[in-house]
Amino acid sequence: MTLPDWVPAWATLVRADNPGPMTLDGTNTWVLRAPGASGCVVVDPGPLLPSHLEQVAAHGPVVATLLTHGHPDHAEGARRFAEMTGSDVLALDPKHAVGGQALIADGEPLDVAGLRIRAFGTPGHTADSVSFVVGEEAVLTGDTILGRGTTVVAWPDGQLGDYLTSLERLRGLGSIPVLPGHGPVLPDAEAVAGYYLRHRAERLAQVQAAVAAGATSPAEVVATVYADVDRSVWPAAELSVRAQLDYLRVADRP
C-alpha cells in the first residue's frame, strides 16, 4: 500500500480485509524493516484471516511480532502467525504473548530489524494498550490514536483518566508521524493528540450537561450526546460514556 513520502522508509502497511464501523478501512498491520536488514518486525498481525496472515508473512523472515493491545481485530491472528513464522509475540498482557516474555512498557528499547523500538505505555483505550516509538521518527499507536475519527475508551477495562494521561504523553513526542491501527497515517503526533484532548474535554462537558438536563442512564446520555452519530456505533459510544461518568464520579469525590 502506497504511503506518503513523509512516512519513514522502514514502514510498510498491510491492511486486513475487515472493514467496519469500528475498524474503519480494516486493521492496519505494520511491517517494520530498516533498509538492508534481513528480518522484519510485525506490529498487530490482525484478525484470523488466512489470506491476510499469509500476505504479511511473505514480508519475512519475521524476527518478532508486537501487539499494541489484545482486541481480536489486532491480536486474534497472532498465535497462528507465530506458528507460521516462528516468531515470538510480545504483548503487555501475558495472555496474548507467545514464546518469549511479556512486553514491558517503558522498558529498555528493543534493537531488532535494524531499528530501535521503544514500547511506550499508553493505557486508556484498554488497560494493556501500548504504543511503539521507532527511532524517535514515528509512533505506532494501535487504537489509542486512529487515522480518522476518535477512539472508544473500552470501559471498564479502559479508563478515561489513563487515556487522558496517555494522550498527554503522546503529545509530548512532538511532530512525528502517527502510524495508527486503523485509517490513514497522520503527520503530527503532537497536533492530533492535542485534538483528541480537546475532543474529550468537549464530550465530558456534553455528558455533564446531559446529566444535568435529566439523563439518568448511560443509554440516555448516548442518545443525547451522540444523536448525530450513526447508531451502529452507539454500543461503543456507551462504553465511552460509562468511562466518562466513572471519571466524573471520581473527580467529584472529596
Cell numbers that stand for 166 in this block? 496517555
Q: Mean of the per-residue pLDDT values for the chain? A: 95
Query: In three state form, how does the secondary structure of the chain look?
Result: CCCCCCCCCCEEEEECCCCECCCECCEEEEEECCCCCCCEEEECCCCCCHHHHHHHHCCCCEEEEECCCCCHHHHCCHHHHHHHHCCCEECCCHHHCECCCCCCCCCCCEEECCEEEEEEECCCCCCCCEEEEECCCEEEEECCCCCCCCCCCCCCCCCHHHHHHHHHHHHCCCCCCEEECECCCECCHHHHHHHHHHHHHHHHHHHHHHHHCCCCCHHHHHHHHCCCCCHHHHHHHHHHHHHHHHHHHHHHCC
Decide: 163 and 192 in contact? Cβ < 8 Å: no
Beta 62-66 vs 89-90: how paired, if at all?
Answer: parallel
| Inter-residue contact 215 to 224 (CB < 8 Å) | yes
Is a pLDDT exceeding 60 seen at residue 254?
no
| Residue 55 binned pLDDT confidence (cut-offs 50, 70, 90) | very high
Q: Check pLDDT > 50 for residue 245.
A: yes
**Distance between CA atoms of residues 46 and 218, nearest Å:** 31
Catalytic positions are 73
Q: 252: pLDDT confidence band, cut at 50, 70 and 90?
A: low
pLDDT tens digits, 96-144: 999 977 888 998 999 999 999 999 999 999 999 999 999 999 999 999 9
- Predicted confidence (pLDDT) per residue in 204-241, tens digit: 999 999 999 999 999 999 999 999 888 988 999 999 99
Give the domains, in start order, of the chain with CATH numbers. Answer: 11-188 (3.60.15.10)
pLDDT for position 228: 87
Residue 130: which of 91, 172, 78 has the closest Cα? 91
Banded model confidence at residue 251, pLDDT cuts 50, 70, 90: low
Residues facing 122 on adjacent strands: none
